[in-house]
Amino acid sequence: MHFTSLLAASLLAIGTSASPVASPLEAFKRAGPAAGQVITKCSTTGTLALAFDDGPYQYTQKLVDTLNAAGAKGTFFVTGTLYGCIYNQKTALQNAYNSGHQIASHTWTHPSNFGSLSTADLTSQMQKLETALVNIIGKKPTYMRPPYLATGSNVLSTMKTLGYRVITDDIDSGDWNNNTPQQSEALFTKAGAGGNGHIPLMHETYATTVNTLVPWLINWAKTNNLRIVTVAECLGDAGGAYASGTGSSQTTC
């Protein structure tokens, strides 16, 4: 078949298809990591993906400002109601999103039994937060970190169905377990800056993490020539951190 005939046939096929056909480049950009598989660390060398759980909270804006001042990007795994209603921190979340930080899911209520919930309950946890995030930032996330890093029972199969990339960690800062910033710093120093980048477990709900550990990590990354990027970026996922979703008129929890 001549090139012109092939081009005409291709255009005709696109024009008569039920939905738009993405370009090969666009499809590549959206591919990203597979949904429903546990990811513990970056796939890119020279990166550090600072990832914070349990917000939004009163320190969210301070954390955003600190990262912005350093030219660093963070990933915020947020909940709907764990530390107050997500809508109470609407402006801080919008500022984080507009600054290029990644907003991801940590479920609606952060249930302690997340790893044993039914498929229906897991779906509800994810979709309630999706709706709120569409209301707040206009998109729903495609990345999540399960409460307590629980990935058993129905979790992975449900996240695969919902299209979520499942993130855990390869360094636990221990801030949730009363580690001092200095104890957390020692964990990073021990892990080192070589190889593929780290995805640490940290929480934006602790003042010591926001005020002491994060500034230290910014300096540590600079000293070791690491770029502080979002989880999606450290996984080579260009443009795939979000998807279109359906919002609502809800403004409270």
- When pLDDT is averaged across residues 22-42 and rounded to a whole number, the result is 71
The answer to whether 175 is a known catalytic residue is no
- pLDDT for residue 27: 40
- When pLDDT is averaged across residues 194-202 and rounded to a whole number, the result is 97
Q: What is the three-state SS of 171-187? A: EECCHHHCCCHHHHHHH
pLDDT > 60? residue 161 = yes
- pLDDT for residue 1: 42
Q: Which of 175, 198, 203, 237 is catalytic?
A: 203
pLDDT > 60? residue 3 = no
Share of the chain above pLDDT 70, in %: 88
pLDDT > 80? residue 19 = no
- pLDDT for residue 238: 84
Read off the pLDDT band of 32 (50, 70, 90). confident
Please tell me whether the peptide bond between 111 and the residue prior to it is cis, using omega within 30 degrees of 0.
no
pLDDT > 50? residue 188 = yes
Tokens of 94: 């919008």
Read off the pLDDT band of 189 (50, 70, 90). very high
Reported as half-sphere exposure (CB side, CA atoms, 13 A), residue 102 has a value of: 33
- pLDDT for residue 31: 65
Interatomic CA distance for residues 118 and 163, integer angstroms: 17
- pLDDT for residue 147: 98
Q: Which of 53, 54, 169, 175 is catalytic?
A: 53
The answer to whether 237 is a known catalytic residue is no
Interatomic CA distance for residues 6 and 16, integer angstroms: 15
Strand-pair category, 242-243 with 140-141: antiparallel
Interatomic CA distance for residues 213 and 174, integer angstroms: 11
- pLDDT for residue 16: 35
Partners of 45 in the beta sheet?
196
- pLDDT for residue 60: 98
Interatomic CA distance for residues 132 and 110, integer angstroms: 15
* pLDDT 10s digits, 132-147: 999 999 999 999 999 9
Q: Which domains does the chain have, with CATH numbers?
A: 33-243 (3.20.20.370)
CA neighbor of 208 nearest in space, from 56, 103, 59, 50:
59
- Please give the sequence-ordered ranges of beta strands (E in DSSP) within 42-164, or none if there are none: 47-48, 50-53, 74-78, 102-105, 140-141, 143-144
